[in-house]
Structure 1
Amino acid sequence: MRAADADRQAVADRLRVAVDEGRLDLHEYDERLQRAYAARTYADLTDLVADLPAPAAGPTWGAERPAPAGAEASALAVAGAAVPARTADPSGRPVTARWLAEVWEPYLKVVGIVLAVWAVTSVLSGEALYFWPGWVAGPWGAVVLVRTVSGITSGEPRRWAAQEERRRQRRREKRARKRERKAAKRALGEG
């Protein structure tokens, strides 16, 4: 049976969980993730998670749609992948909310600073000056709004979250290698 995009995403989420649990290293995760997005059938997806234990709790892969039948059901049962309805980070914020914060935060910070500068200069001059912050906030706000709408409709938050997860994993691995090198140097220095 042919796999759908939602099925590929569910397997990608299950692989992310496996990386978080320490069952896959970053290289293997990247390799399997590429194969998951290139998979055409449920058999292709099942092979990617067959050596991983079933997740402890949560809705099963495909829970958002009606219960599958036949070959699809057996593929799903073997895969045992879990995908929460809204994937969240350790702080509990949903992926879309994190992505929106990432997109809008620079804009809001700069507009806040520009408005504060305008307000202070207006107060110091004793009159309301020309509202020049509109030239910063207006065009940039339109660009950020278009990016937000197009990003949400194209599924950008999930891709961004996967990329962020890969970055976090690389940082964790780099710190672990650094600790190992320090421990090895200490061991050589003491010996």
Structure 2
Amino acid sequence: MANSPEMRASDSDRDRVAAILREHTAQGRITMDEFNERLEQLYQSKTYGELAKLTSDLPDVDLRNRPAKTAKAIESKDGMHSGMKAAWGAWAMASGINWVIWLIVSISSDGGVYPWPLWVMGPWGVILLVSTIFGSNQPKRN
């Protein structure tokens, strides 16, 4: 039986339309303000006709055949994926903070202070280096 515009819509019908609106927002067809307005109207909608009005000015979207992100899209120009770049960035930031703390303590004390930041940088850096060189350059997929 075909769904008539007066027939009441279910939560799953509203969720499907919300997914379509998100996809159109991601593709730049509607702005975030328009998306928020339509989403508010969506969850107040009761019938199929009201749901259809929300997407009537948008082309059809097949959510099952969306283009998948490839590993090439995730990789940066140097071939390192964003997760590994983030790990190196965290290592550099933590190392820099530790060296600044060590420097402040060294300047404010009378004698030389043992370079303890090496114990933070060393093992973590070795693990990252081995992962970068020998690890797969692809992010894990579930």
Q: TM-score range by the shorter chain?
A: 0.3 to 0.5
Which TM-score applies when normalising by structure 1?
A: 0.34
Task: Report which of the two has the higher share of helix.
Answer: 1
Q: Which entry has the higher C-alpha Rg, 1 or 2? A: 2
TM-score by length of 2: 0.44
